[in-house]
């Protein structure tokens, strides 16, 4: 396989001042990309503001001969993001890659969590990802080329105590990806989701020392580089950590169909083991795949003709 390169490509990487974002940015730059290092410079819970981290990474890239600029946009602020995109276009005339990595944590059990903390985490992760991608989208369409990565988490895909806000935001990445994948297909805009487990400043206090060594950000960024490459897939959730990579998929069981006279809560309860039976389960590729499935099964069960076919 030929070497994956990003020569003449321009990438925006959010949250790139530390941890995973820094690793992603350095990896892109090492393979030829011009990189915008975005970082608001806040604490892990979103407090404060500083340009030092972003400037340091940009300088690190320039020192090894790469091209980079720093920008301290708040990803959830449309005006800030618009300024970042405008300055990128002024500098390099194009944007090819948007890596949405910026994030904060405000962990508490749901009973003790304030709605302000819930909204803030959703704003940074979900609204921030949408803001950056939305600002780049017209450029991608005009170029007939774009690569987007959203960052999810095992907390969003599988759950984690004390992270209702974070988990909700991270689960939302799948829905955003699925729709943007469909809407971007015509213009060669490919959209994927990275679900990393890494040692970062948000996780280092939660992991034992031997584990932190195994889960270095650099072991994950290789997968990120593939997801934003020219030959990238689209609509993939890539789990990554410690050099391991796996695809997360959502399947729907074949399920049951109840006739109108039998469609009662008791009937659903009685057949629930069959509802959960994984035999014949399938991955659905869009919302209407499920609609067509249910309409077909209902028509077949009642012996009715159906003009709408798979």
Which residues participate in catalysis according to the annotation?
Answer: 166
The distance from CA 285 to its chain's CA centroid, rounded to whole angstroms, is 17
The distance from CA 186 to its chain's CA centroid, rounded to whole angstroms, is 21
Two tokens, residue 296: 């077909």
Residue environment code for 4-29, b if the CB has 16+ CB neighbours within 10 A, otherwise e:
eebeebbbbbbbbbbbbbbbbbbbbb
Please name which of 167, 151, 152, 157 lies closest in space to residue 108, comparing C-alpha atoms: 167
Two tokens, residue 246: 């796996």
Burial of 79 (0-12, 13-18, 19+ CB in 10 A): exposed
Whole-number Å distance between alpha carbons of 42 and 120? 13
Residue with tokens 């690569």: 147
Residues facing 195 on adjacent strands: 239
């Amino acid at each position: 396989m030929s070497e994956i390169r990003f020569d003449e490509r321009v990438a925006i990487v959010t949250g790139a001042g530390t941890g995973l974002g820094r690793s992603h940015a350095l990896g892109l730059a090492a393979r030829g990309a011009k990189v915008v290092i975005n970082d608001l410079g806040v604490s892990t819970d979103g407090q404060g503001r500083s340009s030092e981290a972003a400037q340091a990474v940009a300088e690190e890239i320039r020192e090894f001969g790469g091209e980079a600029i720093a920008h301290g946009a708040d990803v959830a602020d449309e005006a800030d993001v618009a300024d970042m995109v405008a300055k990128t276009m002024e500098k390099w005339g194009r944007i090819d890659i948007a890596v949405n990595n910026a994030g904060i944590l405000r962990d508490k059990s749901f009973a003790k969590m304030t709605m302000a903390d819930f909204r803030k985490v959703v704003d940074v992760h979900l609204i921030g990802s949408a803001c950056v991608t939305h600002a780049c989208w017209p450029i991608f369409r005009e170029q007939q080329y774009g690569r987007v990565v959203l960052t999810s988490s095992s907390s969003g895909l599988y759950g984690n105590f004390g992270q209702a806000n974070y988990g909700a935001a991270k689960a939302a990445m799948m829905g955003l990806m699925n729709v943007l994948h469909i809407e971007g297909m015509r213009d060669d805009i490919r959209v994927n989701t990275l679900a990393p487990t890494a040692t970062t400043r948000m996780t280092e206090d939660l992991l034992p020392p031997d584990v932190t060594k195994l889960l270095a950000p650099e072991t994950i960024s290789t997968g990120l580089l593939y997801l934003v490459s020219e030959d990238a897939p689209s609509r993939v959730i890539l789990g990554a950590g410690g050099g391991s990579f796996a695809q997360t998929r959502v399947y729907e069981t074949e399920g049951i169909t109840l006739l109108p006279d039998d469609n009662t809560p008791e009937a659903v309860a009685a057949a629930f083991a069959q509802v959960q039976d994984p035999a014949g389960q399938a991955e659905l590729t869009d919302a209407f795949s499920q609609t067509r499935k249910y309409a077909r099964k209902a028509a077949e069960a009642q012996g009715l003709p159906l003009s709408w076919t798979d």
